[in-house]
Amino acid sequence: MANWLAVWETSRILGRALGEQKECVREVHRLAHELVRTPADVPAEYRVSMGPLPEDALTIRRNLFSTLFLSVYQILGVPPERRSLFGKLNQLFRVWVTGADNLLDAEDKVVLPLRLPHDARTMREVVAIMTADRVLTEILWSATEQGTISVGEARQISARSLQALLGSAGQEATEERGVEARPPPDEVLFVIHRLKTGLLFHIPFVGPDATGEGDTPLAAELKSALLDFGLGCQLLDDVRDLAVDLRERRHNYVLSQLCWQESEAYATLLARDPATLPERLYREFPEAARGTALRGYEMMQGGLATLSDCGLALRPGDPARLAKTMFRVLDLADMAETIDG
């Protein structure tokens, strides 16, 4: 994370955005703590409560994307009080998306540190998602009372906070029973992954779109840059998750590339016992893995360069350095050595 730390220390916009993001995390946690209160007549062994913020909850690594989104609001000239509202909304999207991923993929990532009997993971996600909905109501009511947004804008944000996730939900639904056929690589990248991941990088515009600040040529350019950055990150995920996606029959750019361009290698791979596949399966397909990682790197670098040109004002070479850093962030550090730039 050294490159990101260096940028945060020299970028006024990113430095301010990180401070604002930390306040958003704290406020969402505080509101959730106020709401998650089990009635007094419930026996102690059945009580549900909020725990303290995890030690790493305010680190750059945990807040990298959210901080980038808050920096975009500065570029767009969004006033501080609305940046705070939109930042808290983004934090709630993290709860919804992470909770859904945990339920669907049996993962254990925590955004709201809930305490439940027997550390029940499934019910924790259910309560987290319900809590986030109630926190959304609280922040929208507060914003209208303070004049930050109008009642009509609050209603739009409430509706769009659901609607913005439906494309991604629909795409996930198609994978619940497993992928039967591998579509061409570019279809995976520009259709499936755009819905699966790319749209999540447009979620930060739910608020600005409702208030009109997202309806400008500059906003459109920023949306495109964030989409490229997000798709680039997903390509790195596809390299890292090659074995998992094969076992779980999920869409994967590398698997589609093998299916369409190296059919014999792909057939041999399908014939292997999924239980014996190594975690770093991509190392067995260095050309396909490197090509995918390189494309992801170029998309991330291009997205960051556009953000810089639009007002983020990074130093020369920072987009490339930050794109390289994402290999470590996404647990693919060994692949970074194979990428020039």
Q: Are residues 120 and 206 in the same domain?
A: no
Q: Are residues 185 and 141 in the same domain?
A: no
Q: Are residues 216 and 338 in the same domain?
A: yes
**Domain contains 173:** no
User: Domains in the chain: how many in total?
Assistant: 2
Please report the DSSP string for 21-34 in residue order. HHHHHHHHHHHHHH
Q: Are residues 233 and 116 in the same domain?
A: no
CA distances from 100 to 95, 106, 121, 207 (A): 8, 10, 12, 22
How far is the first Cα of the chain from the last one, in angstroms, to the nearest whole number?
Answer: 17
Q: Which domain holds residue 14?
A: 1-149
Q: Are residues 212 and 98 in the same domain?
A: no
**Domain contains 194:** yes
**Domain contains 163:** no
**Domain contains 68:** yes
**Domain contains 159:** no
DSSP state of 149: S
Q: Are residues 133 and 267 in the same domain?
A: no
Q: Are residues 122 and 249 in the same domain?
A: no
What pTM, to 2 d.p., does this model score?
A: 0.92
- Taking the mean position of all CA atoms in its chain, how far away is CA 301? 17
CA distances from 171 to 160, 176, 183, 204, 250 (A): 18, 9, 14, 20, 11
Q: How much is the pLDDT for 277?
A: 93
Which of these three, 129, 149, 169, is where a domain ends?
149
Q: Are residues 142 and 193 in the same domain?
A: no
| Angstrom distance (rounded) from CA 256 to CA 25 | 38
The DSSP element (H or E) to which 128 belongs, if any, is helix 121-145
Q: How much is the pLDDT for 8?
A: 65
Q: Do you know the residue count of the chain?
A: 341
Q: Are residues 120 and 195 in the same domain?
A: no
**E strand intervals along the chain:** 49-50, 114-115
Q: Are residues 308 and 194 in the same domain?
A: yes
| Angstrom distance (rounded) from CA 311 to CA 320 | 17
Q: Are residues 32 and 81 in the same domain?
A: yes
Q: Phi, psi (5° rounding) for residue 107?
A: -90, 175
**Domain contains 145:** yes
Q: How much is the pLDDT for 220?
A: 95
Q: How much is the pLDDT for 1?
A: 61
Q: Are residues 315 and 276 in the same domain?
A: yes
Segments in the chain below pLDDT 50: none
| Angstrom distance (rounded) from CA 169 to CA 268 | 32
**E strand intervals along 22-156:** 49-50, 114-115
